[in-house]
Amino acid sequence: MTSARPEVPVHVAIIMDGNGRWARRRGLPRLEGHRRGVEAVRTITFAARDLGVGMLTLYAFSAENWNRPADEVGGLMGLLEFYLRKELETFVRDRVRFRTIGRIEGMPPGVRRLLAATEEATAGFTGYTLNLALNYGSRTEIADAARDYAAAVAAGREKPDDSSWETFSRYLYTAGMPDPDLVIRTSGETRISNFLLMQAAYAEFVFTPVLWPDFSKEDLAAAIAEYGRRERRYGLTSEQVGKSAAPAAQ
Ligand code: FPP
């Protein structure tokens, strides 16, 4: 998966924030903000592809979001089901590979079935991937990876003295995916909120005040342009980066 233009990030990850504030400012229920948030998901999925991005990861539901009021959690799950039912056909038509990261086994059975069907129907597409983070948290991801890695060592599938990141990262939910080059957070908040902590080790961050339901293709293009102006050094000096391509980060 390579981006056509070098200044365009291969993998963009977005913390979609501000649905609640968008609704409150209009005197609407929070769920209406989430509904408009789903519209933005649709727009940005195709905008990213049109701009030359290879993979888009969206933080749709965090492991901590279960603690929100029950009606909001139920509403979000309902929206997710509605979204998946509607989008399957679009993904197949437009050759979008659909994937997920997170503790998917903790999602409601109806949603799990739709997720599996969508992943299966789009598994053969290689040009562009939409990756939804659901019931996702970096700390649970590390804990799950450590458990699975320990089990692999106990079963003799991994060497006990191998402490390389390359090996361990194969046990993360993101195994086989490129690290995000650019992480965007909307709504003016400047936190990472337990999102891709390890994978974003060398990512560039762009924070925008735009609330997620208002986030447009132009806003995404502006974030990508900002990314293009940054110099990624991967621990090297400017002079070194100028001379040769950056080495693979460990
Ligand atoms: C933050 O807004 C957003 C979320 C809790 C998750 C994002 C969810 C969606 C965009 C809708 C569902 C997505 C799909 C793919 C069906 P917030 O409620 O925290 O906003 P606030 O900080 O203004 O209250």
Q: Quick: pLDDT tens for 48-104.
A: 999 999 999 999 999 999 999 999 999 999 999 999 999 999 999 999 999 999 999
Q: Coil, strand, or helix at residue 33?
A: helix
Best residue among 14, 15, 16 to mutate for probing ligand 1, ranked by most atoms within 8 Å of CB: 16
Atom 7 of ligand 1 has which residue's CA nearest to it?
60
The reply to whether ligand 1 has any atom less than 6 angstroms from the CB of 19 is yes
Do 22 and 39 contact (CB within 8 A), yes or no? no
Residue whose C-alpha is closest to residue 103's, from 147, 160, 166:
147
Q: How far is the CA of 60 from the centre of ligand 1 (A)?
A: 7
Question: From CA 95, how far away is CA 128, in angstroms rounded?
Answer: 8
**How many angstroms is it from 87 CA to the middle of ligand 1?**
18
Domain 11-245: which CATH number of 3.60.21.10, 2.30.42.10, 3.90.1200.10, 3.40.1180.10: 3.40.1180.10
C-alpha distances in Å from residue 112, one per residue of 11, 103, 166: 25, 11, 29
Which residues of 41-81 form beta strands (DSSP E)?
Answer: 55-62
Question: Which 3 state secondary structure label does DSSP give 12?
Answer: strand
Q: Is 161 a catalytic residue?
A: no
Is the C-beta atom of 38 inside 6 A of ligand 1? yes
In angstroms, the CA 47 to CA 36 distance is 16
Q: Tell me whether strands 11-15 and 182-185 are parallel, antiparallel or unpaired.
A: parallel
**For the stretch 193-212, what's the b/e string if a residue is b when 16 or more beta carbons lie within 10 angstroms of its beta carbon?**
ebbbeebbeebbbbbbebbb
Quick check: is 131 catalytic? no
pLDDT tens digits, one per residue of 154-206: 999 999 999 999 999 999 999 999 999 999 999 999 999 999 999 999 999 99
- Write out the H or E segment, with its range, that includes residue 204: strand 204-207
Single pTM value for the model: 0.93
- Of 156 and 241, the structure prediction assigns the larger pLDDT to 156
